[in-house]
Structure 1
Amino acid sequence: MMDQVASTPAHGSDDVDLNAYFQRIGYEGSREPTLAVLSDIVHAHVLTIPFENLDVLLGRPIALDAVSLQKKLVHDRRGGYCFEQNGLLLLVLEAMGYEVSPISARVKLGYPRGEITPRTHLVLRIEMDGTSWLADVGVGGLSPTAALKFELDQHQATPHETRRIVRDGDLYFHQALLTGEWEDVYQMTMEEMPLIDREVANWYTSTNPKSRFKNILMVARAAPNGVRLTMLNDEFSVRDASGKATKTPIHTQGEMLELLAEHFGIHLHENDHANLPIIRG
């Protein structure tokens, strides 16, 4: 397996169908590699392509090559998690002429800062005019809806939550302001994450019995006016711009399928209906 992965090209921008991608996210603006275009694309992507781990729960392998990413997220109109979402955006930005690098991270949301979590998150670093920016369309219900300037201790407004980047020793923390409190979202050393490392982390995330994504059902999408939509196990949540969440329990598989279709645009094949578990919280 490792020999096959190692032979896979690190970059596949020549294989990206930009027209199909932009149609998928409903973007009709400029294609010049500027900051404004970057933020517009990030915003459109997060509002359109849902974060989801349904294929992991269905026991399907998660492929990271350009053809597979576009088939699933663009042509089949499904979603995915960080390695798929940011993997696709990496290819798109490269094809558009951005100077972009894949960066590894450790998700910290819900964990004490001192606890070492797996390095199983992918972030994108973009260089423009001597300034670094971060883009991340794959961190679940907190995917930033704009590019973030890599500048310490600066409050950065987005169409959704305010963000900032802080430093603790050799580590950098991306934080979100949630109900008046700063919460760590993930931790970075700014080390690059080449494809082989993404393949290994993706394999762990999608197959290890102890992986969170093998034990929870999670679907998320940003909506206009600062709203976040999330399905976590057997609960559907709508969180408004103030942080107030309205939660609805999911009792049956039929209710789950209706919510997936109505709010996330996910229409599973009929053969998958019986195999998709309702995980009780």
Structure 2
Amino acid sequence: MSTIDLQAYARRTGITTPLRPDLATLRSLAIAHVANIPFENLNPFLRVPVQLDLPAIEQKLVVDHRGGYCFEQNFLFREVLREVGFDVHGLIARVLWGRDEDAITAQTHMLLRVELPEGSYLVDVGYGSMALSGALALIPEEPQLTAHEPYRLIERDGEWRMQALVRDQWSTLYRFDLQPRYDIDYVLANHYTSTFPESHFLHTLIVTRTVPGRRHVLRNRDLGEHITGSETRRRTLQSVQELRDALESVFGIRLPQHPELDARLDALPYPEA
């Protein structure tokens, strides 16, 4: 049984309305979560272990005002939903963003399936720059509105693909099946993602926050503000202080007291011309 502190989570995410296991609450929780708990990979970037036990995740994301990546984010969100009274279980996906549709990738992403009287819904508060600000009905081929871009689900022979409409083109984020997963599956995938020498989370700083009307994205020194239905604003962060200021003010992160943080930030590469 979940033992999460819902009051602390509500304060962290700014939720003030009563929490009920219904579709309206599910959507509002997802929007509030991605707006207030940023996606960030500072732990693997600093070679700090990523822990998936609930007390550690709750301490980091809720109490310490940090963020986390997909396993931490969706693990926390799953336990919040269970505490509210939702029927929810986890799924696992193969990321395809920026890759060929037929690429064979490892199962390194967690998402959630929620059962409601209206049917099955998917939520995913942990997909970085394309975090799902809402909930999608498990219905194939039908474009569905969110608080940001439209999304849709494609199904072929029991395999599903999550797609988003980006620059007037449907792009696949990942593919998955509907087999419920055990926590040990995420522990194994998390270990691979956070320690495998070729994992980009060890070498690239990725921080995102999805707020109403825009998405803030930091990739190394490149800070972007993607405005819904409009242009993208970008600037390059030159100094360690600029990086620290952005992490704290744009993304709302209380930076960890790590002896190597400033050195790692200073060594970040500049965007290619």
Structure-2 residue corresponding to 1:61: 49
For 1:237-275, what per-residue CA distance to the aligned partner results, in whole angstroms no more than 9, with x for missing partners? 001112521111121111100110110011314444324
Structure 1 residues 104 and 253: CA distance shift in structure 2, 3 A: same
Residue 240 of structure 2 is aligned to residue 253 of structure 1: yes
Matches within 5 A, 1:1-281: 12-13=1-2, 15-129=3-117, 131-225=119-213, 227-272=214-259, 273-277=261-265, 278-280=267-269, 281=271
Please give the TM-score of this superposition, normalised by the length of structure 1.
0.92
RMSD over aligned Cα atoms: 1.2
Amino acid in the other structure paired with 1:264: F
Q: In 2, Cα distance between the equivalents of 1:270 and 1:84?
A: 20
Q: Distance in 2 between matches of 1:101 and 1:271?
A: 34
Secondary structure, counterpart of 1:84 in structure 2 = helix
Contact 1:90 1:100 in 2 (8 A): yes
Alpha-carbon distance in 1 for matches of 2:38, 2:165: 22
Amino acid at match of 2:133: T
Gapped regions of structure 2 (runs ≥ 5): none
Q: State the one-letter code of the partner of 1:256.
A: L
Please state how far the C-alpha of 1:37 moved relative to its aligned partner: 0.3
Question: May I ask how many residue pairs the two structures share in their alignment?
Answer: 268
- For the 8 Å contact 2:237–2:243, the answer to whether it is kept is yes
Q: Distance in 2 between matches of 1:183 and 1:279?
A: 28
**Does 189-198 or 69-78 show the bigger shift?**
189-198
* Cα contact 2:46–2:202 (8 A) shared by 1: no
**Which stretch of structure 1 is more off in the superposition, 26-35 or 238-247?**
238-247
Instruction: Look up the SS of the partner of 2:110 in the other structure.
Output: strand
Q: In the alignment, residue 177 of structure 2 is paired with which amino acid?
A: T
**Distance in 2 of aligned mates of 1:246 and 1:62:** 32
Q: Is the 8 A contact 1:179 1:243 kept in 2?
A: no
Match of 2:264, SS? coil
What letter corresponds to residue 131 of structure 2 in structure 1? S
- 2:50 and 2:131 mapped to 1: Cα distance? 20
1:115-144 CA-to-partner distances (Å, cap 9, x unmatched) read: 111101000000011610001000001011
Other structure's SS at 2:250 match: helix
Task: Please report how far the alpha carbon of residue 276 of structure 1 lies from its aligned counterpart in structure 2 after TM superposition.
Answer: 3.1
- Which letter does structure 1 place at the counterpart of 2:268? I
Q: Is 1:54–1:276's contact at 8 Å kept on the other side of the alignment? A: no
Distance 1:43 1:246 in 2: 22
| Residue aligned with 1:120, SS | strand
Deviations 1:17-42 (A, max 9, x none): 00000110000112110000010000
TM-score of the pair, normalised by structure 2:
0.95
What secondary structure is seen at the aligned counterpart in 2 of 1:79? coil
